[in-house]
Structure 1
Amino acid sequence: MLVTGRFEDGSAYQVRVTGDSERPVIGSVRAAALVELHAGKPILLSPAGPQRTVAGDDVQAVRAVLGRHTTVLDSTP
């Protein structure tokens, strides 16, 4: 999955969400650090749920972290 977005400070990023627990995102060190920071914590996959624990091999949970903590502009499978 390719995700393009913007951090709160306006910095843009584009990452590939890999589904690999060792390297969940490729393309932005800052986005990778954000995902790592939230690993093991619960997150809602959508505003109404369901809730999952963030894991690097869970593409939907990684995408949810990016969506919750940044402005996602585009997301393609």
Structure 2
Amino acid sequence: MMITGRFEDGSVYQVQVTGDETRPVIGSARAAALVQLHLGESIPLSPTGPLRTVSGRDIQAVRAVLDRYTRVLPLA
């Protein structure tokens, strides 16, 4: 899954969410560090839940981290 987003400072990133435990995202070192920072935490998959523990293998949870801490841009 390819995701394009923007950090709070306006920097744009593009990553591929891999589903690999050791390297959950490829493409942006900053986005990869953000995901690594939140591994093992519980995060809601949507504004109303359900909660899921962030794992590199869980593509939905990795996407939820990016949604929560950055502005994910819609597909063109």
Q: TM-score, normalised by structure 2?
A: 0.96
Q: Which structure has more RCO (C-alpha within 8 Å, separation ≥ 6)? A: 1
Which residue does the alignment assign to 1:45? 45
Residue-by-residue CA offset, 1:16-43 (whole Å, 9 max, x unaligned): 0000001000000000000000000000
**Residue 74 of structure 1: aligned partner:** 74
Q: Aligned with 1:32: secondary structure?
A: helix
Partner of 1:57: 57
Deviating 4+ runs (over 2 angstroms):
none
Q: Distance between the aligned counterparts of 1:39 and 1:23, measured in 2?
A: 11
What is the Cα-based RMSD across aligned positions, in Å?
A: 0.8
CA distance in structure 1 between the partners assigned to 2:59 and 2:27 by the alignment:
15
Structure 2: gaps spanning 5 or more residues: none
Percentage of matched positions with identical amino acids: 71
Query: How far apart in 2 are the matches of 1:19 and 1:39?
Result: 13
* Greater share of residues in strand: 1
Unmatched segments (≥5 aa) in structure 1: none
Map residues 10-49 of structure 1 onto 2, 5 A cutoff.
10-49=10-49
Partner Cα separation in structure 1 for residue 55 and residue 36 of structure 2? 9
Give the structure-1-normalised TM-score: 0.95
Secondary structure at the counterpart of residue 74 of structure 1: coil
Q: Following TM superposition, by how much is the alpha carbon of 1:74 offset from its aligned partner in structure 2, in angstroms? A: 2.7
1:10 aligned counterpart, secondary structure? coil
